[in-house]
Structure 1
Amino acid sequence: MAQKLPYKSLVQLDRNASAALYVQVCNAFIALITKGILQPSDMLPSSRTLAELIGVNRNTIKLAYEELVSQGWAEAVERKGIFVNSKLPTAASRPLPDAHLGPHEAFVWHNRFRNALPSKDLQKAGLAIDDGFPDVRLAPIDHLMREYRSLSRKFYGKNFLRYGSSAGSERLRISITNYLSNTRGLTVSPENVLITKGSQMGIYLAAHLLLGAGDTIATGISNYLLADETFREAGGNILRIPVDACGMDIDYLEKALATTSIKAVYIIPHHHLPTTVTLSSERRLKLLDLAKTHRFAIIEDDYDFDFHYDNKPYLPLASIDHNQNVIYIGSISKTFAPALRIGFMVGSTEFVRAAASLRELIDRQGDTLMEEAFSVMFDNGEVDRHFRKSLKIYKERRDLFCDILASDFEEEISFNVPEGGLGIWTTFSPDINLHKMSHEAGRKGLYIDDGDFYKNESYATNALRMGFASLNEAEILKALKTLKEVLPNAR
C-alpha cells in the first residue's frame, strides 16, 4: 500500500508559475525521495487518489508519474502501481517539515563574519540622511547609457564582450592617467593603473599583497571600518594612531616605529573618514620621509578628492611621493553613483601587475563595455562637467544643512563645517541614544545611521556622519525637521 503521508500539504502547486503542473508534481516527489521521506520500493498513491487530494486533473498525475519513471526516480509494476525505484540508494530519513525546527549547518566551516555589521541597503530607503554619498539623480546616467549602447552596436564594440585584461580597459586606464595628471598633478602611465570595482576592492588587493599573518599596519584610531576588517581578514594586526584636527598624528607614529615594525600605513589624508579632517602639509612630508626611511607602504585612500568647496585641495601624497612608497586608491563610484562600481589603484608597475593577478582569482575582470563607456565620458569632458555642476549644488546643500544644524540643533549637536566631501561629522550630546534616535526616525520614514559603523575596539563616541549631498533643499528641510521631532524620544 502507498505510504500514508500528508500529500495535500507536501505537494504544493503554484498555478501562476511558468512550470507546468505535472512538472511541479514531479519535482515535489523528487524532493520527497531525496529527503528520505519516501524510501526505495515505497508505493506512490494512485493517480485518482492524488488528483483528488491536491485538486488537479488525473492526467496531470499520470504525466508526473511518467516523468518520474523516465528520469529513473520511480518504476511501474504492472497491475500493482507506481513505486519509488528499488535500485535507488537509501537516503537518511528526515522528519517531515516542521515550522518550529531551526536551521542547521550541513557542513563545518569557520564564520569569521558572524559579528559583521549588515550592509546598508539604501535602495529601499525613502528619505535618508546617509553616510555622505552623491545624489545619483545628478549623475549623467543617460549620457553614460547612450555611450554604452553606442559602443555595443559598433562592430568593434562586440570585441569588448570577450575576455579582456584583468587590469581593466586600456582606454579607461589612459583616461584615468590624464584625469589624475590634470586634477592632481600625478603623472603615471597606464601600466601603473588598475581598474577596480570601487575603492574597497583596491583596499582588499593592497592588503593581501602587503600583509601576512601577524604583520602590522598602522591606521587612525578612528577609521573606515571596512578597511580595518579587510586588514584583519588578511592576517594583519592594527596599530592605532591618534587623529586630531590636523589629521593622523605622525609624531606619534614616529615614536611607535622605534619599537614596532610595520608593513604599511593606511590613511585618508583628504577628508579623513569618519571625522572629515585633512592631514596637514607638514605631516604629509614627514609621513613620506618615514616611509622612505622605514620602508613601509602607504595606502592612500582618496575616495572624494573631487569635492572641495572653500579652498583648493591639498595634492595627494602620491603626487609628491618620489620614492614610490604610495599605493593610491580612488573611486569614481563615490563621486558619480555608488552602484556603478568603478575605481582605480595606482602603484608601481610590478605591484599593479601582481594586484591584477590577485584580482583575477576573485573577479576575472570588470565590465569592459562599461569601462569603455566611462572612458568616452572622461575624454569628451562629460565627467568634468558633472563634477563642476554637482560641486556647486553640493556646496549650496552643505551650507543649508550646516545653517539648520547650527540654528536648530545647537544644544544637541556639535560639528565643524567641512571644507569638502559629502558628509558632516556630528557629535551628539551624551544624553541622546543614537540607536533610539535611528529607530524613532525610521518609524517616521527617515533613515539615519545609529553610529555603530564608526566605532572600533579603541574608539567609541556618540557621533556619526550626516550626508547632505544626496538630499535636495526640500528633502533637507523635511529630514532635519523629522530628526528634530524624534530627538526627545531618543533620550
Structure 2
Amino acid sequence: MLPYKSLIQLKRNSAIALHIQICNNFITLITNGTLQPTGILPSSRVLADLISVNRKTVKLAYEELISQGWAESVERKGIFVFSSLPVLPEIESIPVTGDSEPKESFLWTNHFQNTHRSESYQKLILTIDDGFPDVRLTPVDQLMREYRSISKRFYGKNFLKYGDSKGSEHLRTALAFYLGNTRGLVVSPENILITKGSQMGIYLSAQLLLQSSDNIAVGVSNYASADEIFKYSGANLLRIPIDDRGMDVDHLEQMLEHKKIKAVYIIPHHHFPTTVTMSMERRLKLLKLAREYRFAIIEDDYDFDFHYNNKPYVPLASIDHNHNVIYIGSITKTFAPALRIGFMIGPSAFVEAASSLRQLIDRQGDSLLEEAFASLFENGEMERHFRKSLKIYEKRRNLFCEILQSNFSDVIAFKVPEGGLAVWAVFDDKVNLAQLSENASKQGLHILDGSFYKNEVFSPNALRMGFASLNESEIQQALEVLRRNL
C-alpha cells in the first residue's frame, strides 16, 4: 500500500472541507500517475486511521471521487480507480536542461524577451516616477458617487449587460463636446473608440496600419512601449531626429523621397521622453507631407491638459482637413492611471475596424465606469479637477526646478518644461544611473535607472523626473536623498 499518511496532506484550518481536500489529493495522485486505473484505494477505516480523520469524512471523499468519475465501487471488493481512465506515466521530477531552466512543455515563440516590464508604483516608498499625476488629488469620491448612483437607478442595470465595443455612447458624446471646447477638435461620437488607455489605441492602430516589413517613422528618442508595439507588428522603425522644436520634418521629407512610409508616430506635446513641444511650422508641414505621400499620423497626446506657461498648440488632429491623423489620448493618465480609460479618434471606417479588432481581445470596457466618467465631464467635475491640479502641479514644477537649479547644476542639465508632469534631466557622464538607482533605493527613494528611455540609436545618461505626484515636502525629501547619493 502507498504511504498515504505522507501523500495526503490536509490543512485543518482551511475553508475547504476536509473531504474535498482528501478528494483533491486522490485526484492529484491519479493525474500524476501514482495511482493507476483499477488500483484499489484503502478502506475508509484504514485511511481514516492513517490521516486522523473521521471515517465518515473518508466515505464522503470517496463518494465525491465516484460522482466525479475518478473512482468506482465494486461490491464486496472495495473502491478502485476508475478502470476506463487512461494509463498515465508517473511524474518523477521536473526535467531540466543543462542551464537548470525547465524544459518547455510545448513549442511557442517568445517575442518579448527583451521587452521592458512596466514598473509597479504601488509600493509605499518615496518615488520619483517618470511623470504621473498625484492620485491623492483625484476626486475619487465624486467618481464613486456617480458609479453607485448609476448602478442603483432602474436603467443602470442595463450597463451590466454587453454594450457597444466602441464604448459608452454617453462618454463618447461627452468627450466630443469636451475635446471641441478645449482642443478645437470637431468630432462625432461615431469617430471615437473608448480604449483601456492610450496604449491600447497605439496597439490597435499599429495592427490595422502595419504589416510585416512596412516602414513607420518614429523619433530617435521615443516612447519605448510604442516602439515595441510597432516591432511586434513586424514593421521597420525609421528613426527621425528630435530637437528643441520636435521631430525634424525636413529630415522626414528627405526620407520620404526614397522610402515608402505607412505611418508616422508623433508626440507633439511634451515629447516622450524629452518633453519638447513640436513647433507649429513643423506640424503644418507634417500634415502637408501626410496628404502628399498618403501616410497616417498616429498622434499620441497623452497629457494635453497640463500646460503651464501659455496656451498649448491645438493638436494636429484639430487642423487636419484631409483626415490623415489618428488621435490618441488618455483620460486616466491625467486622472488616475490605474482606472484605464483612453480614447482613439479617426475616420469612422477605421474606428469601426479598430472596434472589431478590440472585440477579439477585450469585448468592451467597464460600462459603469465609463458612464460615471461621462457624468463627471457633464457636471464640470473633470474640468474643475484639471484646473485645480494644474495650479498645484505648476507650483510643484517650479519648486522642483528651483532645487535642481540650485543644488544639482553641477551634475544635471535640464530645461524647465512648459507642460507635462516631468523634467528631462541629463546627468553628467560620471554619474552611473543604475548605481544611483540602487543606492537611492537603499535609502528609501525609488528612482528609475534610465534604461527605459534607451534604444538602438539613443542612449542618453538621462532620466524623466516626475514632480507632479510629490507634494512640496516630498519633493524636498526626495531630492535630498538623491543629492546624498551623487
Per the TM superposition, whether the score is higher than 0.5 is yes
Deviation for aligned residue 1:8: 4.0
Deviation for aligned residue 1:80: 4.9
Aligned-partner residue type, residue 154 of structure 2: F
> Which ranges in structure 2 are unaligned for 5 or more consecutive residues?
none
Q: Measured at CA, do residues 285 and 24 of structure 1 come closer, stay the same or move farther in structure 2, by a change above 3 Å?
A: same
Residue aligning to 1:112: 111
Residue aligning to 1:42: 39
Cα pair 1:47 1:62 within 8 Å, conserved: yes
Aligned-partner residue type, residue 418 of structure 1: P
Aligned-partner residue type, residue 197 of structure 1: K
3-state SS of paired residue (2:446): strand
3-state SS of paired residue (1:137): helix
Residue aligning to 1:262: 261
Deviation for aligned residue 1:486: 2.7
> Superposed, which structure 2 residues align to 1:66-465 within 5 Å?
66-77=63-74, 80-95=77-92, 103-465=102-464
Cα pair 2:413 2:425 within 8 Å, conserved: yes
Q: Measured at CA, do residues 444 and 10 of structure 1 come closer, stay the same or move farther in structure 2, by a change above 3 Å?
A: farther
User: How many residues get paired?
Assistant: 484
Q: How far apart in 2 are the matches of 1:125 and 1:119? A: 17
3-state SS of paired residue (1:339): helix
**Range with greater deviation from structure 2 (298-307 or 34-43):** 34-43
Aligned-partner residue type, residue 479 of structure 2: L
Deviation for aligned residue 1:11: 2.2
Cα pair 2:275 2:420 within 8 Å, conserved: yes
3-state SS of paired residue (1:214): coil
Q: Measured at CA, do residues 376 and 236 of structure 1 come closer, stay the same or move farther in structure 2, by a change above 3 Å?
A: same
**Range with greater deviation from structure 2 (161-170 or 55-64):** 55-64
Residue aligning to 2:30: 33
State the Cα deviation string for residues 376-417 of structure 1 (Å, max 9, x = none): 110111000000000000001111111111122222221111
Q: Measured at CA, do residues 238 and 174 of structure 1 come closer, stay the same or move farther in structure 2, by a change above 3 Å?
A: same
Q: How far apart in 2 are the matches of 1:104 and 1:46? A: 39
Residue aligning to 1:22: 19
Q: How far apart in 1 are the matches of 2:101 and 2:240? A: 44
Deviation for aligned residue 1:230: 0.7
3-state SS of paired residue (1:181): helix
Deviation for aligned residue 1:97: 7.5
Deviation for aligned residue 1:32: 1.1
State the Cα deviation string for residues 455-477 of structure 1 (Å, max 9, x = none): 11111111111111011111111
3-state SS of paired residue (1:328): strand
Q: How far apart in 1 are the matches of 2:413 and 2:309? A: 21
Q: How far apart in 1 are the matches of 2:26 and 2:199? A: 46
Q: How far apart in 1 are the matches of 2:425 and 2:68? A: 64
Cα pair 2:270 2:419 within 8 Å, conserved: yes
Residue aligning to 1:467: 466
Q: Measured at CA, do residues 70 and 157 of structure 1 come closer, stay the same or move farther in structure 2, by a change above 3 Å?
A: closer
State the Cα deviation string for residues 16-64 of structure 1 (Å, max 9, x = none): 3221011001101101101112212333344455444444334333322
TM-score, normalised to structure 2, is: 0.95
State the Cα deviation string for residues 410-451 of structure 1 (Å, max 9, x = none): 222211110100011111121222222222222222211111
Q: How far apart in 2 are the matches of 1:51 and 1:143? A: 57
Q: Measured at CA, do residues 410 and 11 of structure 1 come closer, stay the same or move farther in structure 2, by a change above 3 Å?
A: farther
Q: How far apart in 1 are the matches of 2:432 and 2:250? A: 35
3-state SS of paired residue (2:339): coil
Q: CA RMSD in A?
A: 1.9
Q: How far apart in 2 are the matches of 1:23 and 1:98? A: 30
Aligned-partner residue type, residue 298 of structure 2: I
Q: How far apart in 2 are the matches of 1:51 and 1:124? A: 47
**Range with greater deviation from structure 2 (50-59 or 121-130):** 50-59
TM-score, normalised to structure 1, is: 0.94
Aligned-partner residue type, residue 145 of structure 2: R
Cα pair 1:426 1:464 within 8 Å, conserved: yes
Q: How far apart in 2 are the matches of 1:102 and 1:73? A: 34
Find the partner of 2:60 among 38, 58, 63: 63
Q: How far apart in 1 are the matches of 2:457 and 2:70? A: 59
Cα pair 2:166 2:193 within 8 Å, conserved: yes
3-state SS of paired residue (1:112): coil
3-state SS of paired residue (2:332): coil
Q: Does 1:11 align with 2:8?
A: yes
Deviation for aligned residue 1:99: 12
